[in-house]
Structure 1
Amino acid sequence: MADTPKHSVSVAGIVVDSDNRVLVIRRDDNGRWEAPGGVLELDESFEDGVRREVREETGLQVDVEQLTGVYKNLSRGIVALVFRCRPVAGEVHPTDEAQDVRWMTRDQVEAAMTPAFAIRVIDAFDGTVHTRIHDGTNLVTA
């Protein structure tokens, strides 16, 4: 069993406002623009993890609406469950984990994010659940 691959499970929230803008963060650890999210804790549900991560990274409280995709980072063994959310309370602000927080249009997201993370936002708008794999930056075809 020593050769069994290890995976990490993460969650992310695609928070969409009434103008169809998406809440994004510039991560403090790598400077990349991404949707708020992170590692799911052992004792929490997927939805609780999304709510916690969005609140910790942006100050915003959200309602989790639906699963929009499952994404695997092949190089790091991370499986991310991504959910569309809507804002319900709070004021967005930078945090220890997010050096900048802002609302972006889909076009701005595509220009600012790497393809592997921009696709999560794009997928959240069509109402279906997607499964995709990537190398940390670019999508990989199966």
Structure 2
Amino acid sequence: MDGRRVTSELPLHSVSVTGIVRREDGRILAIKRSDDGRWVPPGGVLELGETPQDGVVREVLEETGVKVEPERLTGVYKNMKLGVVSLAILCRPIGGEPRPTDEASSVAWLLPSEAEAIMPEARAVRVSDALREDGPFIRAHDGSALI
């Protein structure tokens, strides 16, 4: 052996970003996913060579038509079943209009209480955590519920 690790034997993780977009009136941007019908904050897989801030701007725009400015990291969330680590970033909208996309059958500005009520626990907690000032938080979940 030449000292290099064989990557196929190492566990792999995917890194994603979640945009918690808060309007001046306090409403939160949410999408209804086209693939599973769940309401969630917009986000997706971070591309290689892309910063988390650039990734969240890209993902929110692609999924909703809303341009955002990232403000701060609010949490790190790991899906233990899939090995996905998501960085939640509080953002403010700076342009664009919400519209359905290939990934989002519906886009809405919801009250935080509405967003938390219709989202799976693992996604709703990202909203409530982002609205707190004592984070960022680190949490694990199984895709739906915190563990």
What TM-score bracket applies, with the shorter chain setting the length? over 0.9
4, 11, 24: which one pairs with 2:30? 24
Partners of 1:31 and 1:43 in 2: CA distance: 31
Partners of 1:126 and 1:107 in 2: CA distance: 14
- Kindly state the Cα deviation for residue 3 of structure 1 after the two structures are TM-superposed: 3.6
Structure 2 gaps of 5+ residues are 1-5
Aligned to 2:17, the other structure's residue is in SS state: strand
16, 19, 23: which one pairs with 1:13? 19
Q: How many aligned residue pairs are there?
A: 140
Partners of 2:138 and 2:9 in 1: CA distance: 25
Cα shift readout 1:73-108 (whole Å, capped 9, x = no counterpart):
000000000100000011110011100000111111
Q: Look up the match of 1:122.
A: 128
Aligned to 1:121, the other structure's residue is in SS state: helix
Cα shift readout 1:5-46 (whole Å, capped 9, x = no counterpart):
110000010000011110000011111111000000002111
Partners of 2:47 and 2:116 in 1: CA distance: 29
Structure 1 gaps of 5+ residues are none
Give TM-score, length-normalised by structure 1.
Answer: 0.96
Paired-residue identity, %: 53
Give TM-score, length-normalised by structure 2.
Answer: 0.93
Moved over 3 A (4+): none
Two-structure CA RMSD over aligned residues (Å): 0.8
